[in-house]
Chain A
Amino acid sequence: MSLLRKQHSVLPGFGLSLGFTLAYLGLIVLVPLSAAFLKTAGMSWGDFIAAVASPRVMAAYRLSFFASLAAASVNAFFGLIVAWVLVRYAFPGKRILDALVDLPFALPTAVAGIALTAIYAKNGWLGQWLEPQGVKIAFTEIGVFVALTFIGLPFVVRTLQPVLEELQPELEEAAASLGANRWQTIARVLLPELFPALLTGFALSFARALGEYGSVVFISGNMPMRTEIVPLLIITKLEQYDYRGATAIAVVMLTASFGLLLLINLIQKWSRRHHRV
């Protein structure tokens, strides 16, 4: 220890704070997480494949993947506009709107779920107008997409806002004085600057959507093969006391999430290097 702390040896408390941090991290996070992997390691390869690749599970992967992808894409598009408007323009009620962007972080997911269902169900606020037109949202894949869009909304806005605020106006002025029109400036100067943050926000929104449960279960209708998301499948298996099956699917999801986390870290590292140059 004395070697490691030689730079800052004046301040006391290194051993205590690091020891407590590692113990708490281990007990609350690492040991329980490793339980999932160890439980699955005890399964035979055939059992594992049967649990994680049955047609019903594959249908759930497909739905979770594509609904999350669609939700993250919509959030990337509208999030860019919302962030741009909040940073660049002044209008009445801007501060309230800015604070409200975090609502999906603050509102419990179950509350969001029943509220969205009340809006889009057959006799709901919008559903009663949409269903006669043949547009069904609640209890379909579109309902899943709507819920995932709601919970992923803040990620893109909040990752773009600080980058937009730090953009130098000189950059745009230089482009304009060199003869670029506004669209060229946006496409060739602004978007490349914003791209890493946009990608990070997209990936965060996508990752959050993959694991989401509370807001989706009410609006999705939970029909096997059609509107069943992967986290719901884990709950279903648990209720049938199929702990191994539930854990095997959980391990597949954990691997995907950790892969995404790694990817997000790489994007951020790449963008920091890109900015320093």
Chain B
Amino acid sequence: MAVVVTSTLVKPRALAGAPLRATQDPRCVRRLLIGIALGFLAFFLLLPLAAVFGEALRRGLGAYFAAVGDADALASVKLTLIAALISVPANVVFGVAAAWCIAKYSFRGKSLLITLIDLPFAVSPVISGLIYVLVFGAQGWLGPWLIEHNVKIIFAVPGIVLATTFVTFPFVARELIPLMQAQGSEEEYAAITLGANGWQTFWRVTLPNIKWGLLYGVILCNARAMGEFGAVSVVSGHIRGETNTMPLHVEILYNEYNFVGAFAVASLLALLALVTLVLKSIVEWRHARSHAA
């Protein structure tokens, strides 16, 4: 806090008494605003984060590792990984296809299509689960047919994967669409003119150009896929060791007053969130650098 300088101009100390530039605020205003911002973020972000780890380790490391190594906890980790491993690649393929047709061609209804792709972000997580119950549940459109053919979707793994896919649907597409629109198509034209076919053009020209944006979308998509609670809660049926993802397992343990267990599993999810933030910052930094070059 000793050296407070603005981003536009580094002032030597001797000049501290010189008149302020028009874009600068007086030192006391700067200190006050930085103080308010730090206080607000510490109160609303750091404190909850500290609470997760503090509560998880309340009974010591032994209890923590026992809770993390519990069979039902490990089953929930496995299910969370399965749901993410199916829904994230599916949304990557969709995101690339959507960005390709939206950025490379002009057609009628394009802005409507972009709005529709964003739609899942406007839907409450609970409703995201509910709509799949209405389609695949026992009372739903396909319910009788599914029961007849002994296919379980709701209260089973396929329902969890579908709900996860829905809530993470826009992530990759909305990163790639503006990026590919900004990049234009000149390099692809050049590749085609030089005799490359469509797939060669995509793999050798487009993909290297969009790799940071794609990775960014994947990181955000994965974080949401592994952490989703409301939508998955509606379709899961909460069967321990079978249809419980990690966030649902946290809820069950918490409601059973097994706080160390709940916060231990929660701390794994919090670690995932921190790793996500680090990776995201690295990608942002690399992307900015590759643009500056």
Q: Do the two shown chains form a genuine complex with each other? A: yes
- A residues contacting B by CB (< 8 A) are 4-5, 7-8, 10-14, 16-18, 20-22, 24-25, 28-33, 35-36, 39, 78, 81-82, 84-92, 95, 97, 99-112, 114-116, 118-119, 125-126, 149-150, 153, 169, 172-173, 175-177, 182, 185, 207, 210-214, 218, 230-232, 234-235, 238, 243, 246-247, 250, 253-254, 257-258, 260-261, 265
Tell me if A106 and B130 are in contact (CB < 8 A): no
Tell me if A150 and B130 are in contact (CB < 8 A): no
Please tell me the number of chain B residues within 8 Å of chain A, measured between CB atoms.
106
Q: Is the interface of A mostly helix, strand, loop or mixed?
A: helix
Tell me if B263 and A114 are in contact (CB < 8 A): yes
CB-CB under 8 A for A89 and B30, given A105-B220, A214-B229: yes
Any A CB within 8 A of the CB of B97:
yes
Taking CB atoms and an 8 Å cut-off, the chain B residues in 205-236 that contact chain A are 220, 223-224, 226-230, 233-234
Instruction: For the complex formed, measure the closest distance between the CB of B9 and the CB atoms of chain A, giving whole angstroms.
Output: 10
Q: What are some 19 contacts across the A-B interface (CB < 8 A)? A: A8-B105, A20-B93, A35-B140, A35-B141, A36-B130, A78-B37, A81-B37, A90-B6, A99-B281, A109-B230, A111-B250, A115-B48, A115-B52, A119-B51, A125-B51, A169-B22, A207-B122, A212-B125, A258-B122
B93, B185, B233: the one within 8 Å of A8 (CB):
B185
B23, B41, B263, B276: the one within 8 Å of A169 (CB):
B23
Tell me if B125 and A211 are in contact (CB < 8 A): yes
Q: Which residues of B contact A85 (CB under 8 A)?
A: 33-34, 37
- B residues contacting A by CB (< 8 A) are 1, 4-8, 21-23, 25, 30, 33-34, 36-38, 40-41, 44-49, 51-52, 54-55, 90, 93-94, 97-98, 100-101, 104-108, 113, 115-120, 122-127, 130-135, 137, 139-141, 162, 165-166, 169, 185, 188-189, 192-193, 197-198, 201-202, 220, 223-224, 226-230, 233-234, 246-248, 250-251, 254, 259, 262-263, 266, 269-270, 272-274, 276-278, 280-281
Instruction: For the complex formed, measure the closest distance between the CB of A6 and the CB atoms of chain B, giving whole angstroms.
Output: 9
Closest to B94 in A: A24
Q: Which residues of B contact A95 (CB under 8 A)?
A: 281
Tell me if A105 and B223 are in contact (CB < 8 A): yes
Most buried by A among B227, B251, B272: B227
Tell me if B127 and A238 are in contact (CB < 8 A): no
Tell me if A115 and B51 are in contact (CB < 8 A): yes
Tell me if A169 and B127 are in contact (CB < 8 A): no
Bound-state CA distance A118–B135 (Å) is 38
Instruction: For the complex formed, measure the closest distance between the CB of A221 and the CB atoms of chain B, giving whole angstroms.
Output: 13
Beyond contacts A4-B105, A88-B7: 13 other A-B pairs, Cβ-Cβ < 8 A, are A11-B105, A18-B107, A21-B94, A29-B119, A39-B134, A99-B281, A108-B229, A115-B55, A116-B48, A118-B263, A211-B126, A254-B123, A258-B119
Most buried by A among B97, B197, B226, B281: B97
Closest to A185 in B: B22
Tell me if A81 and B33 are in contact (CB < 8 A): yes
